[in-house]
Amino acid sequence: MKLQGENISFKYPSSKEYIIKDLNISLKSNEIKGIVGDSGCGKSTLCKILSGYNKSEGKITIDGIENNAKNKFNPIQLIFQHPELTMNPKWKMKDILFESWDVDSELIEEFGIQKSWLNRWPNELSGGELQRFSVLRALSPKTKFLICDEITTMLDAVTQVQIWDLVTKIAKDRNIGLLVVSHDKALVERICDDVIYFDEINQSNLKEL
């Protein structure tokens, strides 16, 4: 299975300048690919485009078929840097987690999620605790590609290691294509099979305008 982004271009309606121009990218099942770039260069925008949050010029396909996840589970899951912004503050954590899929208790334990957390509200948990829920709910059996946008930037070193060890293991076990997006070059080079430098694949196209 292959996720393909072809001739992706994006600019805000109020702007004449493109953030992304004619960018091509692909990700295969069971591949862990990294994208490295400075803050504000357009990495997060690309993540949202690939996962269907933002519309753009160009085409996003899975095995040549355009991804249309409207009103159904999206096989391309995006995990954001700030989990607190993606969770309904009026739902308890058990409702947030099980909305996506029926997570087994063994995996919940592997992610270091305590049973007492399930009955708490999002504002009663730390960023690291919330991110464990965010990652786990994205790992549905229906997930084919997982895009991680700076998901451990705000976390302590121990939590970072725990989360990445689990995510990369599950991705390999389930044949999930994993896109790791970060400004942390050392992290990306350590866990990825291949590394792309965002400026190299995007700025050259912008300069042609």
Place of tokens 């954590």: 93
Beta bridge partners of 34: 180, 195
User: Domain with 146 in it: what CATH number?
Assistant: 3.40.50.300
Burial zone of 94 (CB within 10 Å; 0-12 exposed, 13-18 middle, 19+ buried) = middle
pLDDT (tens digit per residue) in 156-183: 888 888 889 999 999 999 999 999 999 8
Return mean pLDDT, the chain. 90
Domain count, the chain: 1
Q: Is 123 left (phi over 0), alpha (psi -120 to 50) or beta?
A: alpha
Q: Interhelix angle for 127-138 vs 157-174, to 10°?
A: 0
Q: Please answer whether residues 123 and 41 qualify as being in contact, where contact means their C-beta atoms are separated by less than 8 angstroms.
A: no
pLDDT (tens digit per residue) in 143-153: 999 999 999 88
Token readout for 205 is 């196209």
**pTM exceeds 0.85:** yes
Q: Please answer whether residues 25 and 14 qualify as being in contact, where contact means their C-beta atoms are separated by less than 8 angstroms.
A: no
Domain that holds residue 6: 2-207
Rounded CA-CA distance 48/77 in Å is: 10
